[in-house]
């Protein structure tokens, strides 16, 4: 193909060079080879003349941006969550949107489970104590935490990742499973997992370890706030690998400080990368920087999937994980 006729795309974050090289086989590629997200105004300026954009979960693709970039035909994200993209605005203007489901399910479930275990067994809290030189003697109840095996695992949001966490709990650790989800699983799915469906309130009351895996939307904003935390057992833990904003971080910090729940494990935050200052000062919380999907092979697979979507959307073929494939209909 004549190089000047090739579609132009922007890769809006630093990603793997091998994926950029693959995109260069098909496109004129402009890169923002940086770990700092472009602002909305910068994105709009950089997207003039582009037909496609490769984003992470961090670039806001708003209706305003779509209107200001009339040449744009495809927005392909390497994230599974797409709350940063105004999909209806894209659809209305015929812009294809894709996300990256599937490839990160098991890696994210591994991490969610690990974070829950670290939280229940106080791993990082006890490591800080040791590193500070405070460990001087064996104590019968030193960092005594909660058991995982045999405990009730409560899953809020029973999609792919929720189910993968449920399997780990039931098969690996003999946990009792309970869940709440907008739509209930089929009887066969519930039986296979051995999972009981509960109302959100009953789940909060019964869970020994609550793991949150719901997508973020206005409907799930502060799904867990002070009132919900008050329903939980004082011995319970809460783990969030979904999105900041699903949990009211200020209310959670208060509940942790007052020991109204035992501990929390958080990978995501309201307004991240900023973290609520009160979460930084309570000891009974494990904090990680949004890395649940971050194994080397999985991050590469997420980028490859976004690239495959971009290539199919602009060159030809069926984008494997489009969110609005109706825009491709003639």
For residues 64 to 93, the per-residue mask of contacts with ligand 8YV, x marking binding by CB under 6 A and - elsewhere, is --------------xxxx------------
State how far Cα 155 lies from the chain centre.
15
Q: Which stretch binds ligand 8YV (CB under 6 A): 1-9, 52-60, 176-184, 277-285?
A: 52-60
At its nearest, how many Å lie between ligand 8YV and the CB of residue 318?
22
State the number of binding residues for ligand 8YV (CB under 6 A).
9
At its nearest, how many Å lie between ligand 8YV and the CB of residue 275?
16
Residue 114: how many CA atoms within 13 Å on its side-chain side? 13
Binds ligand 8YV by CB under 6 A, chosen from 15, 56, 97, 193? 56
The verdict on whether 205 is a catalytic residue reads: no
Q: Give CA–CA dist 73/66, Å, rounded.
A: 10
Q: Which is nearer to ligand 8YV, 224 or 232 (CB)?
A: 224
Catalytic pick from 32, 180, 243, 299? 243
Q: Give CA–CA dist 28/32, Å, rounded.
A: 14
Q: How many CB atoms lie within 10 A of CB 36?
A: 10
Binds ligand 8YV by CB under 6 A, chosen from 9, 23, 31, 57? 57
The verdict on whether 243 is a catalytic residue reads: yes
For residues 94 to 123, the per-residue mask of contacts with ligand 8YV, x marking binding by CB under 6 A and - elsewhere, is ----------x-------------------
The verdict on whether 290 is a catalytic residue reads: yes
Cβ(285)–Cβ(264) under 8 Å? yes
For residues 185 to 204, the per-residue mask of contacts with ligand 8YV, x marking binding by CB under 6 A and - elsewhere, is --------------------
For residues 255 to 294, the per-residue mask of contacts with ligand 8YV, x marking binding by CB under 6 A and - elsewhere, is --------------------------------------x-
Cβ(51)–Cβ(71) under 8 Å? yes
Question: Tokens in use for 260?
Answer: 């109204």
Cβ(226)–Cβ(200) under 8 Å? no
At its nearest, how many Å lie between ligand 8YV and the CB of residue 84?
8
Which residues have C-beta within 8 Å of that of residue 222, sequence separation ≥ 6? Answer: 245, 246, 247, 248
The CA-to-CA distance between both ends of the chain, in Å, stands at 24
Cβ(39)–Cβ(291) under 8 Å? no
Cβ(257)–Cβ(278) under 8 Å? yes
Catalytic residues: 243, 272, 290
| Site residues for ligand 8YV per CB under 6 A | 56-58, 78-81, 104, 293
């Amino acid at each position: 193909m004549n190089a000047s006729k090739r579609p132009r795309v922007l890769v809006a974050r630093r990603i793997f060079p091998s994926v950029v090289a693959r995109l260069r086989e098909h496109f004129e590629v402009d890169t923002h080879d940086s770990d700092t997200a472009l602002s909305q105004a910068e994105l709009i300026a950089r997207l003039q003349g582009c037909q496609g954009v490769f984003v992470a979960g961090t670039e806001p693709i708003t209706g305003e941006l779509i209107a200001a970039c009339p040449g744009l035909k495809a927005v392909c994200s390497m994230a599974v969550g797409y709350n940063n993209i105004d999909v209806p605005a894209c659809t209305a203007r015929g812009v294809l949107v894709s996300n990256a489901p599937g490839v990160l399910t098991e890696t994210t479930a591994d991490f969610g489970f690990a974070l829950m275990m670290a939280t229940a067994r106080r791993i990082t809290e006890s490591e800080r104590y040791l590193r500070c030189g405070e460990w001087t003697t064996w104590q019968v109840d030193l960092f005594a935490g909660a058991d995982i095996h045999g405990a009730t695992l409560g899953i809020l949001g029973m999609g792919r990742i929720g189910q993968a966490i449920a399997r780990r709990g039931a098969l690996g650790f003999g946990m009792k499973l309970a869940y709440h989800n907008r739509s209930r699983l089929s009887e066969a799915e519930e039986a296979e997992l051995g999972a009981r469906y509960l109302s959100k309130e009953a789940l909060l009351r019964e869970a020994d370890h609550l793991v949150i895996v719901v997508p973020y939307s206005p409907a799930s904003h502060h799904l867990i706030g002070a009132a919900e935390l008050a329903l939980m057992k004082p011995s319970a833990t809460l783990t969030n690998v979904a999105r900041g904003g699903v949990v009211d971080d200020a209310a959670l910090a208060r509940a942790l400080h007052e020991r109204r729940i035992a501990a929390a494990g958080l990978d995501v935050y309201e307004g991240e990368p900023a973290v609520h200052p009160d979460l930084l000062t309570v000891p009974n919380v494990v904090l990680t920087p949004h890395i649940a999907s971050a194994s080397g092979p999985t991050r590469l697979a997420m980028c490859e999937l976004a690239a495959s979507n971009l290539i199919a959307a602009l060159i030809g073929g069926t984008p494997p994980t489009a969110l609005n494939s109706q825009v491709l209909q003639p």
